[in-house]
């Protein structure tokens, strides 16, 4: 099957991060560090590893530092260079995107994830695109989530979303799919519902923050229909494409850390710290004492 390659990725980063206040009063949630790297960098690394070459950030008021983060920082760089601290200087290399590779648009009001994606419609244009929610840290550096999804997209075309099985008592927090035929990690999507009550949830397969979508979803979002919580939901717009275009869910093979909430964020720090040779022993030794 020939499919148009996915070249663009949208990062919706306009949310208030209320669950992390006061930490997120002046610092965007997406710049909170897991070990020594902000959340947004993990999502950007994942996108670039999957062959994405254009990055679109949907920001909001007070999020200007995300744009600064991806710029040069002459004072620090000059100082590091003068002091010969090349290792740290090299670590900054990945924060400098190619000229023109990143674009920033603002979502003026928090009207929902669907609305945030719709704010990027002119930059997306008429081609397939990825959406990555940076507060979901999907960790498999050897085979990142979006790369796993891209392989399914190349085989099946249409739309591909990532899912994971969650406990029944948590389904009400997520978009949940109604599963059709499954082939290994790939499941056909027959329906989708945002934040269902446990009794009516069609499965325990929850959508976890990664999407490959066709541009037609933007036409559906044009209508500005409000859904759960009075927000314009991406899930509702995607649901309208089921049956019209191929639609598959890819069960993510890797570790998922929900860094949008405190416990998940702390666990992510612990888990990734234990993979760092310079600090793993210290962290492990301390953890044993408690
Ligand atoms: P969340 O609801 O998890 O993020 O939205 P939040 O609003 O930042 O956090 P809390 O709930 O207040 O603690 C999921 C993702 O969608 C983006 C958020 O930035 C986050 O990455 N989002 C959500 C938007 O960009 N715009 C919206 O209107 C809603």
247: three-class secondary structure by DSSP: strand
Largest CA-CA distance found in the chain, in angstroms, rounded = 63
**pTM for the model:** 0.96
| pLDDT tens digits, 218-268 | 999 999 999 988 999 999 999 999 999 999 999 999 999 999 999 999 999
pLDDT score recorded for residue 241: 96
Q: Whose CA is nearest to atom 2 of ligand 1?
A: 15
pLDDT score recorded for residue 2: 72
The per-residue pLDDT of the chain, averaged, comes to 96
**Which ligand 1 atom minimizes the distance to the CA of 110?**
28
Which among 14, 15, 19, 110 is the best mutation to test ligand 1's pocket, defined by most ligand atoms within 8 Å of the CB?
Answer: 15
Name the percent of the chain lying above pLDDT 70.
100
Q: How far apart are CA 92 and CA 247, in angstroms?
A: 38
| pLDDT tens digits, 78-122 | 999 999 999 999 989 889 999 999 999 999 999 999 999 999 999
* N-term to C-term CA, the chain: 54
Strand partners, 56: 10, 103
pLDDT score recorded for residue 228: 86
**Which ligand 1 atom minimizes the distance to the CA of 261?**
13
Domains within the chain, CATH numbers bracketed: 8-289 (3.90.550.10)
Outline where DSSP puts E strands in the chain: 8-12, 33-34, 37-38, 54-59, 102-106, 129-132, 136-139, 159-165, 175-183, 186-194, 205-213, 247-251, 255-258
Chain-centroid distance, C-alpha 80: 32
Q: Whose CA is nearest to atom 7 of ligand 1?
A: 15
| pLDDT tens digits, 149-166 | 999 999 999 999 999 999
Average pLDDT of the segment spanning 167-180: 95
Asked whether residue 58 carries a pLDDT value surpassing 80, the answer given is: yes
Query: Is the separation of the CB atoms in 140 and 253 below 8 Å?
Result: yes
Which among 260, 263, 265 is the best mutation to test ligand 1's pocket, defined by most ligand atoms within 8 Å of the CB?
Answer: 260
Confidence tier at 1 by pLDDT (50, 70, 90): low
- The binding-site residues of ligand 1, defined as CB within 6 angstroms of any ligand atom, are 12-19, 29, 58, 107, 110-113, 115-116, 133-135, 260
For tokens 């978009």, name the residue: 175
Asked whether residue 172 carries a pLDDT value surpassing 80, the answer given is: yes
Asked whether residue 11 carries a pLDDT value surpassing 60, the answer given is: yes
């Amino acid at each position: 099957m020939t499919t148009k390659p996915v070249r663009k990725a949208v990062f919706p980063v306009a949310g208030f991060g209320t669950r992390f206040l006061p930490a997120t009063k002046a610092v965007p949630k997406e710049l909170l560090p897991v070990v020594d790297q902000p959340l947004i960098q993990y999502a950007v690394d994942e996108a670039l590893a999957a062959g994405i070459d254009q990055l679109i950030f949907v920001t909001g008021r007070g999020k200007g530092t995300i744009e600064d983060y991806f710029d040069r920082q002459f004072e620090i760089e000059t100082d590091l260079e003068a002091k010969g601290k090349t290792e740290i200087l090299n670590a900054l290399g990945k924060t400098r995107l190619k000229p023109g590779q990143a674009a920033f648009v603002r979502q003026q009001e928090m009207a929902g994830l669907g609305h945030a994606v719709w704010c990027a419609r002119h930059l997306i244009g008429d081609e397939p695109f990825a959406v990555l929610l940076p507060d979901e840290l999907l960790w498999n550096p050897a085979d990142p989530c979006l790369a796993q999804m891209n392989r399914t997209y190349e085989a099946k075309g249409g739309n591909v979303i990532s899912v994971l099985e969650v406990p029944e008592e948590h389904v009400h927090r997520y978009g949940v799919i109604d599963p059709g035929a499954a082939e290994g990690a790939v499941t056909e999507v027959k329906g989708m519902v945002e934040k269902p009550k446990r009794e009516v949830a069609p499965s325990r397969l929850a959508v976890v923050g990664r999407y490959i979508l066709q541009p037609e979803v933007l036409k559906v979002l044009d209508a500005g229909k409000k859904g759960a919580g009075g927000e314009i939901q991406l899930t509702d717009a995607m649901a309208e494409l089921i049956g019209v275009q191929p639609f598959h869910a890819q069960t993510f093979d890797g570790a998922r850390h929900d860094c949008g909430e405190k416990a998940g964020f702390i666990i992510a720090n612990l888990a990734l710290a234990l993979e760092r040779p310079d600090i793993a022993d210290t962290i492990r030794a301390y953890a044993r004492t408690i």
